[in-house]
Structure 1
Amino acid sequence: MPAAIQGRSGVRAEGSDLETNVKAIELRDLWRRYKQQGDARARERLVVTYSPLVKYVSGRMASGLPAHVEEADLISYGLVGLISAIERFDIEREIKFETYAITRIKGAIIDELRSLDWVPRSVRARAREIEKANSKLEHRLQRAPTDEEMSAELGITVDEFQDSLQQISTSTVAALDELWTVSDASGDQVSLLDTLQDPDAPDPATIMDATELKDRVADAIARLPEREKLVVALYYYENLTLREIGEVLGVTESRISQLHTKAVLRLRSRLATETDVLPG
């Protein structure tokens, strides 16, 4: 009986591999037909095939946005980014399309949310105040300031400081992803990973800038307080949601949201003092 079970299991595994190979061949054919022949049907099939990427990115972004922002709207914005990615992708490049597309899907969603300009000026102003206070204290203390030190510098209570973080986290689209992008020759936002892995990148200066920025971001992350560093690692590298991180660390999603916002503001303030390429 065990042998029979193993045999059936082996058939399933082989079948699964075969199915994967068939899909890969079909995808290559779709890309060839679209890129070389301009086949509109192939383009439509590619959009349908990769549309789950939009759902994935939209779902992750929705978890950190205000309740009135509908995930359906984010999906709509993200589809624009996906279509743009399909149209611009060079099938000769040495990167996976998924890596390339996710950056543009995120970018399209962020661009659309920014264009709506629904973030209150007071929230934007408070975020800038926190960044400046953090930069000032880090320079003076030579370490990351505590909530109590930040509150004293801002002239508010610790509760008011944490309330501000919550307001910022639920009112803005500021995210670490923005620190990992540079502009290419056409003005498009390209992930550092895209730029660094493209052996045919036409602008060596752009690669050097991207490498330097990536090193600075990595160094800034390494100097974060341990809990904030862990949140960044789980969210951006392990792809957990804020709610899932809260379950892992045994705290509320709201608290994780505050930690994430603090980490991003710290990183932005550090990079603002070291480079002029920080997104606005």
Structure 2
Amino acid sequence: MIEHKQPHLSNMELWRQWKEDGILQAKKNLIEQYLPLVEFVTNRLAIGLPKNVSKDDLYSHGIMGLIDAIEKFDYRRGLQFETYASWRIRGSIIDGLRQGDWVPRSIREKAKRIEDAYQKLEQKYMRSVTDKEMSEYLEVSETEFNQMIQDIAVTSVCSIDDPIREEESETRLSLLIDDKAKNPEYKVNKFFLKETLAKAIERLTEKERTVVSLFYFDDLSLSEIAEVMSLSPSRISQLHSKAILRLRGSLNRFKVQLFVDQ
């Protein structure tokens, strides 16, 4: 995915110097070494964003996320820093986007309306609902529904990284849980969150599952997925948006259940 200047194991001395001796030069070297990771995450998140969103701004937010990751990472646990840092970088960029409020309120309201519709209908029918059923529920034509999906496509790349609860920083897909933690309630919630997400993915259409898999697990861009699936980039964008809205609906039900049980 990304080539670094040195293999992962060769970084151990830098990590030791920074974490145990507090040598700032070691921290600086780590930041410089992992800057390509910031560029990679920035390029992925920039897909589909409006032209008025500066990639330089995204990159700056990403660097702050990288620094935060380097400050909080525990190298002694033997975990892969790239995985941990990617979510920190992504979260920092998304926080920056939220602060800039780059998405019009009308688009946010439209996305929320569709998300709620997916949540209610799929809970009612216990299956993936069709565009026709969604259109009838929303009282719009299928053409209008597809246009609504297209309009909110620019918001869905980030939506899967929304926090599980608004006041917390843990994201729906991060799940980078400290296995040494002894809080049983947290582990139970983690288990049911994974189970809920797995079931939600199973309810996606075959094409939607393919897009989600290629984008989030195989690190392909939307344009690359379009080539693989022999579809237009706009169609891939629509499939991605629908998948994310379905997943958000399912995960929101999980969030509501958490509050009910507490």
Which category of TM-score, normalised to the shorter sequence, fits these structures?
0.7 to 0.9
User: RMSD in angstroms over aligned alpha carbons?
Assistant: 2.5
Native 8 Å contact 2:128 2:204 kept in 1: yes
Q: CA deviation at 1:244?
A: 0.7
Asked whether the 8 Å contact 1:60–1:241 carries over to 2, the reply is yes
Change (3 A) 1:151 1:23: closer
User: Is 1:116–2:100 an aligned residue pair?
Assistant: yes
Q: Residues 274 and 70 (structure 1 numbering): CA distance in 2 closer, same or farther, change over 3 Å?
A: same
In structure 2, C-alpha distance between the alignment counterparts of 1:183 and 1:99, rounded to whole Å: 23
TM-score (norm. length: structure 2): 0.88
- Aligned partner letter, 1:275: K
Match of 1:82 in 2: 66
Give the residue type in structure 1 aligned to 2:91: G
Equivalent position of 1:47 in the other structure: 31
Aligned to 2:153: 169
Does the Cα contact within 8 Å between 2:53 and 2:102 map onto a contact in 1? no
Aligned to 1:4: none
Instruction: Name the amino acid aligned to 2:227.
Output: E
Runs of 5+ consecutive residues of structure 1 not aligned to the other structure = 1-19
SS of the aligned residue for 1:247 comes to helix
CA offset at residue 207 of structure 1? 2.4
Determine which structure has more spread, i.e. the larger CA radius of gyration.
1
Aligned letter for 1:194? L
CA distance in structure 2 between the partners assigned to 1:121 and 1:234 by the alignment? 30
Q: Confirm or deny: 8 A CA contact 1:169 1:258 kept in the other structure.
A: yes
Match of 1:66 in 2: 50
Alignment of 1:217 onto 2:209: no
**TM-score after normalising by structure 1:** 0.83
- Percent identity, please: 43
C-alpha distance in 2, partners of 1:67/1:132?
28
Deviation, 1:247, is 0.7
Counterpart of 1:156 in 2: which secondary structure? Answer: coil
1:276 paired with 2:253, answer: no
Q: Is the 8 A contact 2:61 2:93 kept in 1?
A: yes
Aligned to 1:189: 170
**CA separation of 1:45 and 1:108: change in aligned 2, threshold 3 A:** same
Q: Which amino acid aligns with 1:189?
A: E
When residues 155 and 80 of structure 1 are mapped into structure 2, their CA distance, relative to the original with a 3 A threshold, is same
Moved more, 145-154 or 101-110: 145-154
Deviation string 1:106-144 (CA, Å, 9 cap, x unpaired) is 000011101111211111111111122222322343322
The answer for the alignment partner of 1:128 in structure 2 is 112
Change (3 A) 1:120 1:277: farther
Letter in structure 1 aligned against 2:15: W
Q: Does 1:150 align with 2:134?
A: yes
- Deviation by residue 1:191-231 (Cα, 9 ceiling, x = unmatched): 64420xx3322533222212211111011101111111111
